[in-house]
Amino acid sequence: MICDYQTNKVYLAEGIKHYETVAHNLLLALYNEGIDTEFLRHTESWKHIWVRDYMPIQLTKTRFLQYRYAPDYLKGYEDYIPPYQTICRGLRLKGKEIPFVIDGGNVVKFSNCVVMTDKVLKENPGYTEGYIRKQLEEAFGCEVVLIPWDRYEMFGHADGMVRAIGDYYILINNYCDFDKDLQKRLKDALSGRFSIAELHYDVPRPSRLNWAYLNFLQVNNCIFVPGLGVREDEKAAEQIQEYYPNHKVILIPGCQELVKEGGALNCVSWNILGNLQEKPKEEA
């Protein structure tokens, strides 16, 4: 399994340009860090900005796992789903497909496991949990750890709940500040497998958007954290730097309008370990 800290290339949707401030600030930061960045074709619409959800999971440098992207929250809104099969063919990606409905944002990768919320069970009715887990573990080639879905968040994505620090070390969002019950259930699900660190913001009148800090983009030894223009910005960057001491933590200002739409920097990006000397040709 290719982890975020091993990646060196970022793809974005053309649609991110509709959010001019965050697009400018993110692209400038990626350029300043020398990170190769490209735009995906067929993603010009502002509806297609959430790249992470429909792009495949990188298993090895040359193998990818494609899945069905047909989430329940987009039923009746299928125009929000770009032609991702065409996009992947254009990039000449190799790998295999599985018939299960998955969101890329619901896959948090470690080198020896993936963490997903149990919404994957709801998205694939008619199968037992044991069968789904077995098929996913065979497809990923590693253990699948299921965590409780945050029911206040309709997407069911794990990347807004937890992130990998190390193979046995995990960072969870600041549920200690606003949802003690979910915090307990999440820690119960993870404690037998991981040491747990938690974000926490001790500020008056906390922002309702501060969940988004954990949805950072990690590429190689850089972590790009969404800046919201609120008092938690500095505290979030400081805490993330503490948990990732070998990384450069970079705050990307002006992300609040994007976050109000339900996602942040991990959602709008797809980062892989690529061959920077040989760029794949795209099909028309």
Over residues 174-225, the pLDDT tens digits come to 999 989 999 999 999 999 899 999 999 988 888 999 999 999 999 999 999 9
- In 3D space, the residue among 253, 268, 279, 232 whose CA is nearest the CA of residue 53 turns out to be 268
Strands 113-117 and 108-109: antiparallel
Cβ partners under 8 Å of residue 200, min gap 6: 174, 176, 177, 239
Backbone phi and psi for residue 9, each to the nearest 5 degrees, phi listed first: -140, 140
Which ranges constitute the DSSP H helices of 113-247? 119-122, 129-140, 180-190, 232-243
**Structure tokens, 250:** 């970079």
User: pLDDT tens-digit profile of 66-114?
Assistant: 999 999 999 999 999 999 889 988 998 888 889 999 999 999 999 999 9
For the chain, helix (H) and strand (E) counts, in that order, are: 8, 15
* pLDDT class of 280 with cuts at 50, 70, 90: very low
In the predicted model, what is the mean pLDDT of the chain?
Answer: 92
Residue 275 has pLDDT above 80, yes or no: no
Return the SS3 of 268: coil
CATH C-level class of 4-272: alpha beta
The full set of domain ranges for the chain reads 4-272
Beta-sheet strand order (sheet of 222-226): 217-219, 222-226, 248-252
Report, as an integer, the average pLDDT of 252-256. 95
Locate 82 and state its tokens.
């770009």
What is the C-alpha separation between 98 and 179, in angstroms, rounded? 34
Evaluate whether 90 touches 282 at the Cβ level (below 8 Å): yes
Q: Name the percent of the chain lying above pLDDT 90.
A: 85
